[in-house]
Chain A
Amino acid sequence: MACQELVELVTEYLEGRLSPVDRERFDAHIAGCDACTAYLEQMRMTLDALGRIPEESIPVEAREELLIAFREWRA
């Protein structure tokens, strides 16, 4: 497996979607390649950083208005 091929399989690897054979080839490549190890680590760090972006919400008043709209619609 060439490095250029490996970077295209990273998502399937992380999603647990590679066939057992491809997974083995992937792991074997990573074990012997510092550059691809760094690439995979960069990807993991990117995903961690995305996961730590704080939750969004709407203002309390806007939520309150929605509940009022729901109540009025029923009436």
Chain B
Amino acid sequence: MTSPSPVLEAEQRAWRYWFTDGLTNLMVGVSTLLMALCLLYTPRWPPAPVSMALWLTALVLYVVMGARHREIVQWLKTKITYPRAGYVQSPYSEDPICSANLVTVSLTGARAAPPEEVQRAHSSRRTRMFLMLGLVMLASLGMLTIHERWVWAAAGIMIGAAMWLARNNYRLSWIVPVGFPFVGLYITIFVASPGAPPAYFLAGWGVLFLLDGGMKLIRFILQNPAPKVTTA
């Protein structure tokens, strides 16, 4: 096996830098948990004002976090990441497919084309991402169409495999790919009430990403202490 060229290595380090602080995963975790809460606590008719207000707040927060994912992460990075470890261009503006994955699309055509080996790396990432999305969509289709309890365990295994494929691209720790089969198995065995499994699955999804992102953020902050502010 040959080692990557310095250019490719620098490109990969710059790409991974976006994910090292765990903020992206924390955002995914929080928004997925909000979605799960909305599903779990859908107000019944006639709705109580408090529960309706809480439900609407969670729903609005979920929509805002989905639509403004990039801006929120960028804002958090200006507070936490850049002052501690510096700024490098985010992968969003380099690779439009990445943006498409995370809802917002940013196409900056004015930039010079990346070198050939970097383009090859982008293409390989894209292939892996399509494989991941394919597996997630297949699992989602199964969860929607097959009304058997074992389908949650199978979906957990499939999404775990998808996350395993994505773990290098998005700097996922082992918690996420290993955790999904357990979430699926838990729902298959313990969650019996109809309608509840999708919400529990999403909640498990959110918790896994929160754990992953939270651990990464703590590690990042410990490894990169805040710069000392000198006052004149």
Q: A and B from one assembly?
A: no
Which residues of B pack against A, CB within 8 Å? none
Which residues of A pack against B, CB within 8 Å? none
